[in-house]
Chain A
Amino acid sequence: MSDADALFRTVNLTKVYSDGSVNALVDANVLILQGQYVAVMGPSGSGKSTLLNLLGALDRPTSGEVFFQGQPLSAMRDLDHFRARQLGFVFQSFYLLPTLTAAENVQIPMFEIGIRAAERARRAAELLELVGLSHRAGHLPRQLSVGERQRVAIARALANRPIVLLADEPTGNLDSHNAAQVLELFDRLHRQQQMTVVVVTHSPEVASRAQRIIRLRDGKVIDDAPSFSTC
């Protein structure tokens, strides 16, 4: 792996929560290349979500640094803009706005990048088609199945054409059929659009779709190896 191709590089990344009693992440050094599909695994409390939050600039490290395309996040003046432009987030519980339709939910991130309403609507329609939900565009979240909700959330994550997708337990609330659909979608995004995908999961099945698996325990990286399915 070469540093020149690095999308994310962390150097001695450490996160201690405010009461000082929990070392969520300890001296983590991770390199994620452009276009890679990476799974982050580990038991509960191992620091998986903390790592994802730090990569996604949702939280600040206690020490150490995250570099994105060689730039330290701590030196970035506008992390909101960074998140809006470069990153797409997918959460375990979808977090769609309940009073907005699927199409409207997909448009939410686009408010930050200054595109016109007509363009927002056109782009949302395209993304819903990509996730196979064109026919559900006018439905509210409560009218959608859990699998459909997660696919709307993925469409929302792709709204601003990010270069990396950060997913925290994206199949955690889904049955096997819907989970397979979501993973298939991630595969397609990675294969067809060369999107970098970082998935936090405790499921070996989900992790097996990735090219690499980073394993954490007690906040430390204990293993970083290619997935068996790609070996």
Chain B
Amino acid sequence: MHFGTLIVKNLLRRPVRSLLTATGVALAVGAVVALLGVARGFEDSLLQVLQVHDVDIVVTRAGKTDRMTSVLDERWGQLLAGLPGVEAVTGALMDVVDFRDANLIGVFIQGWPSDSFLFDQLPLRSGRRLHPGDRQCVLLGAKLAEILQKTAGDTVQIEMHPFRVVGVYESYSLYENRSAIMPLEDFQRLMDRQGQVMAFHVKVSSGPVKAAAVETVCRHIENLSDQQGRRLPLEARPAYDYVKSTLQIRQVQAMAWVTSVIALVIGAVGMLNTMIMSVFERTHEIGILRAIGWRKGRIVRMILGESLLLCLAGATLGTLAAVAGVYWLSGLPVVAGLVQGKISPVVIGQGYAIAVLVGLAGGLYPACRGARLSPTEAIRHE
């Protein structure tokens, strides 16, 4: 018999209690994995958009916590394009609209100049890309087109204005597939933000050390001045940093963590209760084990082992439930394209790491309490 066999058999002694405790942990870990998975998926998707389009740097207004409210003068793009190391620059405007008829909320609309380098990596499924001079036109992402049941040649209402669908694109990014792209001028007029962009996307020339080149260009951008010598209010961040520091992503992650911590505390208290009960019930038995020579450390290992095994079983159940739940959620039209159907292995790893912490937190006190029992007192215990 292995030591692990003893641990498993101890848990099977009270199968219903073990199952309920593991279920409590499963709920906690499942909540963590699902919430963090969705948050992480959102972040990955946004990063993927920038990576797919070869965007190295995103420039927004300095001091703005919420980049959606960033306002930049469209003409500053020419200053950026003239900096050494910059290969291409494009201004972009973005906002979120609803398509209430299709029960669709939070759809991202982007305004790009028709000659933007961002179009280079936007494979079309049907129709054509935007041409210079196009007005009241829009390109729909494949998922959005599917939900709206629109194709090239159809008309779609955006903010109560008709737009002709000239093409449908299929991006590598789930997030982009649920968005729409229209000429920058149209979008500026629609949003009443003529001459403004929200951000500049910058592509840095390929060099031997891209990361260093990106850092250098960022510094140059932040040091740019206008003709009067006043420093422009620009904040330049490498794409990864930009995504990481996006307010909406930070908010989603903070909410995910807060909810997760509450779930975990409940899970740990449940585990603590179970293990204290288990030790109390086995006081006699622990006394015998101590009498026949088991060291305190082995008693601790046995009880902690039981606690950890319960947590790992719960984590497995919870992870499976979270993966299935998020996959199911991603198929719902109302969130389709916002929630990725898969959960990153990193998040699953975090779920298991947290389960181990719950196991240690819930098992350590009962384990120490069990190990401290005097053999004679424990044997006399009734």
Partners in one complex: yes
A-B contact count (CB 8 A): 69
The B320-374 residues at the A interface (CB cut-off 8 A) are 374
Interface presence of A107 (CB below 8 A): yes
Among A81, A97, A160, the one with the most B-chain Cβ atoms within 10 Å of its Cβ is A97
- Kindly provide the distance from the CB of B377 to the nearest chain A CB, expressed in whole angstroms: 9
Interface presence of B290 (CB below 8 A): yes
Please give, as numbers and ranges, the residues of chain B lying within 8 Å of A104 by CB-CB distance.
Answer: 1, 5-6
Chain B contact surface mostly: helix
Among B2, B296, B379, the one with the most A-chain Cβ atoms within 10 Å of its Cβ is B379
**Bound-complex Cα distance A99 to B159 (A):** 69
The B156-208 residues at the A interface (CB cut-off 8 A) are none
Chain A contact surface mostly: helix
Which residue of the partner chain, among B9, B293, B296, contacts A99 with CB atoms under 8 Å? B9
B375 and A58 form a contact (CB under 8 A) = yes
Contact A80-B294, Cβ < 8 Å, known A53-B376, A100-B9: yes
Interface 0/1 of B105-148, CB less than 8 Å to A: 00000000000000000000000000000000000000000000
Interface presence of B291 (CB below 8 A): yes
B6 and A100 form a contact (CB under 8 A) = yes
On A, residues with C-beta under 8 Å from B are 53, 56, 58-59, 80-85, 87, 89, 91, 95, 97-100, 103-104, 107-109, 111-112, 117, 120-121, 156-157, 160
19 A-B residue pairings within 8 Å (CB atoms): A58-B291, A58-B375, A58-B376, A80-B290, A80-B293, A80-B295, A81-B295, A82-B293, A84-B292, A89-B291, A95-B284, A99-B9, A103-B1, A104-B6, A107-B1, A112-B294, A112-B295, A117-B1, A157-B292
**Bound-complex Cα distance A97 to B12 (A):** 13
Please give, as numbers and ranges, the residues of chain A lying within 8 Å of B376 by CB-CB distance.
Answer: 53, 58-59
**Bound-complex Cα distance A111 to B374 (A):** 20
- Kindly provide the distance from the CB of B40 to the nearest chain A CB, expressed in whole angstroms: 41
- Kindly provide the distance from the CB of A91 to the nearest chain B CB, expressed in whole angstroms: 7
